[in-house]
Amino acid sequence: MLSLVVMCVYVGLFAYFVLRSELKQWLTGALVLAAGGSWLLSSVLPGFVYYHGSAFLNLAALYITLSSLFFFVNQWHYHSATGVFYAEPGCPPYLVYLAVSGMMMHLAWLIPLLWSTYQYPDGLSTYSLLGLLQLYFLQPIYWILAQWSLMAMFFVVGRWRKTPLTIVSMGQLQFAFLFGLLAVSAYVIHDLLRYLQH
């Protein structure tokens, strides 16, 4: 129940800020991905979406992050003189942080996933793969809270530096990636320790 509430708040905030800022391509992309993913999954596993709709909703972060490519193409720029990235004026900081943190979190999840797949079945790669997949598909609260924490750090840094909140430096991107790796690694290690205790 709590997972569903968190997911609804996550999706609701995204929809609210996207509609308010008229970034309809981002919202349309997310809806098309969700509909396409649902159709594909129901074709491969008939009845899965009907009986496990909440599990399918856990992929909302994936749809929102992938469709944020519209944001990066249309709203995101690099200022070479200062070495910072910035969004178009009028873009809410929440959407800037959502897009950037989403990409960094997915990159931080994808690299260990590819490495564990490459190492499979040697060492602890099997447990790492299970932990990574469980985190992504079955633990939306952990993922979203980690992403919101990262977004809050972006906000605090922007306030502390007294710069426009739609500006993100290269150092912040590097920190976001390292934070994502730490969050993903902490979950996988905790899951492994819990397995070893049984």
Distant-in-sequence, close-in-space partners of 145: CB < 8 Å, separation ≥ 6: 6
How far is 171 from 63, CA to CA, in rounded Å? 26
Domain of residue 56: give its range.
2-197
Other beta carbons less than 10 A from residue 59's beta carbon: 18
**Whole-number CA gyration radius for the chain:** 18
Please list the pLDDT of the chain residue by residue as tens digits (198 residues).
788 899 999 999 999 999 999 888 999 999 999 888 877 777 776 665 555 556 667 789 999 999 999 999 999 999 988 889 999 888 999 999 999 999 999 999 999 999 988 888 887 778 888 899 888 888 889 999 999 999 999 999 999 988 888 999 999 999 999 999 999 999 999 988 887 776
Candidates 114, 122, 139; CA nearest to 191 is 139
Number of domains within the chain: 1
Give me 125's structure tokens. 């790669």
Beta strands in 16-100 (DSSP E): 76-79, 84-87
Global confidence as pTM: 0.91
